[in-house]
């Protein structure tokens, strides 16, 4: 583990003192979810001040804030607003102004996805392909993959067994220069066995100035859309500053964003993120939620996590990475039961 700097240890020590103090414990244990969200936003503001003063501590402090938010929220019954209507995992949705129609629930293939591996690819070629086909048989039409997950081959095997035009294929590139982006578009289509990609996102953008820094990649994806190679482009954000930049950019047609009620593995507190997403929604961007279960932190609270996601009114679709057919079918049932 990286050795903590003295200043970093001091900051974490102060945070630890605060969370352990009798006043904080009493306030947190007795507060409503609305007050808890206020505490989360307050901590987010404190962390952002420290990050501006010492950007090198960004990762450490963000993890500290995420841990505190999770500690406050885990195990507490959430006070959630009633849903405006009934939902179905297979219902047709439109992704913003793109005109792309797909299912409300997307099939994620990248839980713990990195270095060409994920919990879903660990099921093996036949296992993950069967999972995707079972989802398709239950009306799920959005296949969420990425180069980093190593799941292109599994998706390709499933695509061979369904009508291509009835499936939405979303993939992501980590290319940060035009040449790599062009090469990825060609390789992705070969690996997926398709002439076109419905959605290609710039994966895991973190920088506040990413729309300027990676303008060349954006131009490549714009050209690909004009040529019919992709139908829509956008990004998946990993950082509140990157998310705000995405909200401001007319180039972003679809954004994949981390959202759950306890703030686990998110860009900032739920309320902070929601403010940005409302701006995106007003601009007509397609918004696909991810980390709906907090990367497993809410695995035992699935109805609450799903209810929260659907109650926000900002998501067009949501990705959840089931790891078995039983889990996938349970997700479908739980959405219908809300």
pLDDT tens profile 239-298: 999 999 999 999 999 999 999 999 999 999 999 999 999 999 999 999 999 999 998 899
pLDDT for 233 equals 98
Question: What residue ranges of the chain are covered by domains with CATH 3.20.20.100?
Answer: 92-337
Q: Classify the C-alpha dihedral 31-33-38-39 as positive or negative.
A: positive
Q: What pLDDT sits at residue 2?
A: 43
Q: Would you state the pLDDT for residue 35?
A: 40
Question: Is the domain covering 92-337 a CATH 3.20.20.100 domain?
Answer: yes
Q: Hey, what's the torsion of the CAs at 243, 247, 253, 259, to 10 degrees?
A: 50
User: How confident is residue 122, by pLDDT bands cut at 50, 70 and 90?
Assistant: very high
Q: What is the dihedral of CA 156, 160, 166, 167, to 10 degrees?
A: -10
Determine contact, residues 262/66, Cβ cutoff 8 Å: no
Strand, helix or coil for residue 193? coil
Q: For 191-229, how does the pLDDT look when each residue is reduced to its tens digit (9 = 90+)?
A: 999 999 999 999 999 999 999 999 999 999 999 999 999
Report the DSSP pairing between strands 286-290 and 230-237. Answer: unpaired
Model pTM? 0.81
């Amino acid at each position: 583990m990286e050795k903590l700097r003295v200043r970093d240890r001091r900051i974490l020590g102060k945070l630890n003192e605060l969370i352990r103090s009798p006043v904080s414990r009493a306030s947190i244990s007795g507060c409503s979810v609305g007050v808890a969200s206020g505490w989360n936003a307050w901590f987010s503001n404190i962390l952002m001040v420290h990050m501006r003063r010492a950007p090198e501590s960004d990762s450490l402090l963000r993890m500290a804030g995420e841990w505190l938010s999770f500690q406050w929220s885990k195990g507490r019954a959430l006070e959630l607003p009633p849903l405006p209507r009934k939902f179905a995992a297979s219902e047709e949705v439109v992704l913003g102004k793109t005109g792309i129609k797909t299912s409300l629930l997307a099939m994620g293939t990248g839980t713990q996805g990195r270095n060409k591996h994920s919990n879903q690819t660990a099921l093996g070629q036949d296992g993950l392909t069967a999972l995707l086909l079972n989802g398709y048989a239950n009306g799920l039409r959005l296949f969420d993959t990425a180069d980093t997950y190593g799941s292109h081959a599994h998706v390709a095997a499933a695509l061979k067994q369904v009508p291509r035009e009835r499936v939405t294929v979303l993939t992501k590139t980590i290319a940060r220069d035009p040449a790599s982006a062009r090469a990825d578009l060609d390789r992705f289509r070969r690996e997926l066995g398709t002439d076109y990609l419905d959605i290609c996102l710039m994966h895991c953008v973190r920088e506040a100035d990413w729309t300027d820094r990676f303008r060349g990649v954006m131009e490549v994806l714009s050209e690909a859309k004009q040529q019919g190679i992709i139908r829509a482009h956008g990004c998946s954000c990993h950082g509140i500053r990157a998310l705000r930049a995405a909200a401001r950019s007319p180039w972003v047609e679809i954004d994949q964003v981390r959202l759950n009620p306890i703030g686990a593995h998110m860009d900032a507190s739920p309320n902070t993120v929601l403010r940005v997403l409302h701006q995106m929604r007003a601009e007509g961007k397609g918004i696909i939620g991810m980390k709906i279960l907090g990367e497993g932190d809410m695995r035992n609270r699935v109805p609450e996590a799903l209810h929260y996601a659907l109650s926000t009114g900002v998501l067009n679709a949501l990705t959840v990475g089931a790891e078995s057919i039983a889990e996938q079918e349970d997700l479908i049932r739980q959405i219908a039961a809300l």
